[in-house]
Structure 1
Amino acid sequence: MASNSTTGDRESRDSTRSGRIFVALLVCVLAVSLLTVGLAGPTLAADSSVECAAGSGGGPVYVTDSGLEVADNATAADESYPAFPDAETVSLEDVNVSFSAAGPADLRLEERSADFTCVAAVNASANDVLIGPAEGPGMTINGSLEALSFGPLDFESDDAADLTYDANDSVTLTIDDTGLDEGETVAFESLGSDTIDAEVDADSNGTFSVELPAGDYELALSTASSGGGLPGLPPPPPDDEPAAFEYSEIALESTEIGAGEEITVSATATNVGEASGSHTVELLVNGEVVGEESVYLAGGSSETITFTTVLDDAGTTGISLGDESVGTVTVTDEEPGSDNSGGTDPGSDDDGEATPDPESEIDEGSETPWLLITIGLLAIVTAGVGVAYSQGHLDPYLSE
């Protein structure tokens, strides 16, 4: 019994010791793994489209006073001597590329040259990071990126990738110093897919921003002047000039008429715009509308309009078509066909009324034969004188 008990105790102690050794080994493995990950930093997935960013760190780290950390994996520790022109910026003067941030941010520089920049593990969520390459526009990142590579942007429509990125979430890129004019449109197109088809306009400084979706894409950037733009969307045609109307060949049939007579006014209305449109032509007499006519004309076409109206009031009358003066018409008191000489009829008084003829009044409306009566009286007188002479009654008068 004693021998069996001793053997059991020994086996129990061996089992406990083996368990402790296993746990210790496991803790060591985990510690080494965590230390390795901490030193190496995050790595990109093997299938990332940004091949230049496939490194795992190990280069010198430059830290600005503002808290920006740049791990330079493109050089050995003794091959690059950075400058810090201000509290927010680190500049690698051998290739004239700089990085700036107003507060804590970090990235890993994987490849750099005068015409190419490649960064990885970019954390610019709290503070934007500005990348200023030696040649080409600057790039400001707002958000997080697994990787980003770009060279000088020429905005040519050549189906070549100008920018490549890999992001787990959407990210905003602001590109400045582009040399573009204000209002010039830049098209972003993802190569190999239709996922990204966007257009943005440059501001007065030639700067523009674009929000890019999560994923890994190669982008071609182009402007309309280079033949770029979204597929199937040609530049819109210029807008037609709106309809506008003018009058010509204005004619006034007469400039002097009698009261109650008609005048005729005609003119040609022309749509001098490019778009079709309607217009109402108004005839005005002394500023009052007395007639109107509507026309609908295509751009560049014309139509003749004619108005006829009666003028009753004597005097000088102004005639116009809308705001366009036609002229004046003199309206007289005489009715059509009257004598306009202004003389006085000899058979009329000062008021123009006819003066009655006394003899005419005697002859007219009277049935008395005054001529016969006069002849009869002359015959009687003659006969009386003859009888008195024959009887000698006139001799005393004649002898004297």
Structure 2
Amino acid sequence: MAGAAGVNDVEDAIVRAHRDEWARLVASTARRFGSLDIAEEASSEAFATAVERWRAEGIPPNPAGWLSTTATRRAIDLIRRENKRDSKHREAMMIVDDEPHRSVGVIDDDRLRLIFICCHPALAMESRVALTLRMVGGLTVAEIARALLVQESAVARRITRAKTKIRQAGIPFRVPTAKDLPERLSGVLAVLFLIFNEGYLATGADTPAMRDDLTAEAIRLVRLVRTLLPADGEVAGLLAMMLLIEARRPARVSSSGELITIDEQDRAAWSRTLIAEGHSLVRERLAAGTAPGRYQILAAINAVHTSARDARDTDWRQVLALYDQLASLDPSPVVALNRAIAVAEVDGPHAALAIVDGLEGTLSEYHAFHATRADLLRRLGRATDARESYDRAIRLCGNAAETRYLLCRRDESAVRPPASEPIRSTRPHEEASP
């Protein structure tokens, strides 16, 4: 190592390494040792050790390699501390080598393989999602709770139950075979969707407004799933939806760090390459003539938005028809909330507010509910009620750029907008219930 590094340099290096290497480190350690508990604990201890050692000895030339070696040593120590058999000791020692990883099955990617393993059908769907977001997505319990709209304690219990189930039931920690993939696919796609959503508008006081690493990784993994299951419509739909949302990323945050909603974005800044690929996938699914699933419908909704040259050209009746179709497949409160935005554009804010008010019992802790309600109230000239809803949205919001946007809208809420002004939801037409 080089000489001792400054505190800020070490902190930056640790944050960067955790962002870039956590999932790979957990996945590779899990592959070597066949235990999720050992993989997570060893990886966590490796990062904790890095904080101390890098500050004293300097940041290593190859942080990823340093972390891998340290995690492997910690895993061996954990096995010994748990009083495993001598054969386990020998087995652990034998797998500590510097040879490059070789293909070990149909899924030749550590992280994607781990996702399929965590999404074993013996686990409840809610446990599969929470476990995989933690182990592979690297999200904290708090971030997962916000993504799933549940309490942190519930997330912690789900993760613990999933690990216990894997251990006690003897669920094999092996590479899924080709026949295993379809039955695990729904959980895998749900996880990748939530990882993408977290990157799309990241939560946490010390995180950037958007986490490009998460959106890029989610897209990369969905592309890999598509190579495994090229004929699956929902895989194609999820990829199309992600591409069409990612295409708009350059226009989503202002130079001052404020969120820019879709109706106000500079459409010239959108990636035409990603939009073309997304539209091609949507057309491919339409040509297939099969009944679409939720991801294909969400992709079609985004295709309508990205087809309009100007926000005023958006075909809201088509958007509403697609949301009607989605609601028949997924009658969740979040889908109903997003559908209400389309209703406001077709039938007016009074009709939309009636729908939104009916969701308060289930979405009272969801900031987007209060933000959407606030904008409807603002359009109806109910300034005091609008401000109260903006305040609640701000208190619940976990994204800095979104918070700045909501603060600005709240301050403007005393001014009644034109009746034709669109509803400015911060996450319109993109997020379905987890």
Q: TM-score range by the shorter chain?
A: under 0.3
With CA pairs under 8 Å and 6+ residues apart, which has the higher RCO, 1 or 2? 2
The structure with more strand, counted as a fraction of residues: 1
- Determine which structure has more spread, i.e. the larger CA radius of gyration: 1
TM-score of the aligned structures, taking structure 2 as reference length: 0.20
